[in-house]
Amino acid sequence: MMYRLLLLLPTVLFISCTTEPVAGGPGSETTNGIIAQVFDSEGNPAINASMALRKVSYSPETPILFDKVISPDILADSVGKIALDSVPDGFYRITIEQDGEMLSREITFKDSLNLGKLYLKKSGSFTGSVALPSESKYAWVGIYGLDLLVKTDSLGNFTLPELPAADDSLSLYIRNEVYQDTLREKHIFIKSNLDLKESNETLLQDFEGTSYDDWYFSRDTVNAIIKSPLIFNDGIIYDSTRQSKVFHGSYEMKLTWAWVVFGMTIKNGPLNFNQLDSISFRAKGNGFIRVQLENWDKESEVAGTNLKTYSPYKMLTLDKWSYIVVKPENFCEVIDENTNCDNWEATKRYVKQIHLFVNSGTDVYIDDIKLYGVQF
């Protein structure tokens, strides 16, 4: 997750406009200022249109509900002219709104800037969800560079009902209940008059990226030996049958109840997986594989409070990729005498690790791990 220094451009830099023409409007010279003339979607001057200028990384300093896109710094005059004086050099998002029509874009400002004629568009909306941290009742949702800030419901669902059909992408952020940790960031593209709904599919890993800091392949018992990779990134190889990069791990097991584990730890976990629909992945090998969700840490191990729930084993073959789907009702279908299985209702609210446990064999290949119904 990225943590940013978020600065609000002081409103004392702005001069409020009335319906009378303002000095420094389009056609005039201005120093250290921004000028523009704003029109609505039908080409009429956007009289009294609201305008705000924010640093591109801006978000409200404190978590206060604000269901409007902006709190205006100035209003356009009687012919739609806007002028801002004494603007420091920097990178900004300028946003203009009038009666449900908006314009928003990132700009680079130095010395002076004439934006010419700007035309507003009908707004759009965005609906999405996030896996809430365990015990959290809600999370905060906003857009960098805008004043908008809303809450999710108790399941992590949210709607941003009115957003500008921006000339570029908008950067959405979601923070935890105390407004300290960033749970998600996502670029969204809003279209005029369109209600955009986020897909419930999350590609957790396809091995086409370059950073795998949260991922590991390790032994789970002393009776298992990792032969390769010793460094996780070295296990990323090209597979001709998939025509993409995949993960390959080699291991040795001395006893039938030994395991190796492939997986990741969720940052800001444990999270609530109450809305999980299913987990899917592709695998091949010469052993058995199952999905295991846990909330392990050193403290819970000592206290004996770590939860784990797992799906039945699936047998793999080396000559064919298997497509495996696990749903919540599959957890604890078959009980392993060597491993405790906590039921789904007990485990789903406290998920900190997503694991694929491998038993028997010597090799495993994994690709395209996806979650459905859970976003984080």
Tokens of 37: 């003339």
Strands 195-197, 124-129: pairing kind: parallel
284 contacts 317 by C-beta, under 8 angstroms: yes
Quick: pLDDT tens for 98-144: 999 999 999 999 989 999 999 999 999 999 999 999 989 999 999 99
Q: Which of 82-101 are b and which e, b meaning 16 or more Cβ less than 10 Å from the residue's Cβ?
A: bbbbebeeeebbbbbbbeeb
182 contacts 156 by C-beta, under 8 angstroms: no
Quick: pLDDT tens for 184-202: 999 999 999 999 999 999 9
What does pLDDT average to over the chain? 89
Domains of the chain (ranges; CATH) run 1-196 (2.60.40.10), 204-372 (2.60.120.430)
Quick: pLDDT tens for 348-368: 999 999 999 999 999 999 999
72, 74, 80, 83: CA torsion to nearest 10:
-130
Cα gap 86→14, rounded to integer Å: 8
Cα gap 206→228, rounded to integer Å: 19
pLDDT band at 21 (very low <50, low <70, confident <90, very high): very low
pLDDT band at 29 (very low <50, low <70, confident <90, very high): very low
271 contacts 131 by C-beta, under 8 angstroms: yes
Cα gap 34→46, rounded to integer Å: 17
Confidence (pTM): 0.80
